Amino acid sequence: MRKIEKDTFLLERRKCFVYLQNNPEYILIQPVDENDAAMLENQAEIISSKTT
């Protein structure tokens, strides 16, 4: 499995989460609320494991 890096930043006062790997083939942009944000890391790992 490829290593996933996590970064956060503010965009117009909204917290944004970025999960990235070297040389991505796809980009997923998904609006989330606080409940969804708690599950993002797990979802990013599952997507990574299914797309390698």
User: How would residue 2 be classed by pLDDT, with cut points 50, 70 and 90?
Assistant: low
For residue 42, the enclosing domain spans 5-51
Q: What is the 3-state secondary structure (H, E, C) of 1-52?
A: CCCCEEEEEEECCEEEEEEECCCCCCCCCCCCCHHHHCCHHHHHHHHHHHHC
A 10 A CB-CB count for 41 gives: 13
Q: What is the pLDDT of residues 7-50, one digit of tens each?
A: 898 988 888 888 888 877 777 788 888 888 888 888 888 888 87
How many domains would you assign to the chain? Answer: 1
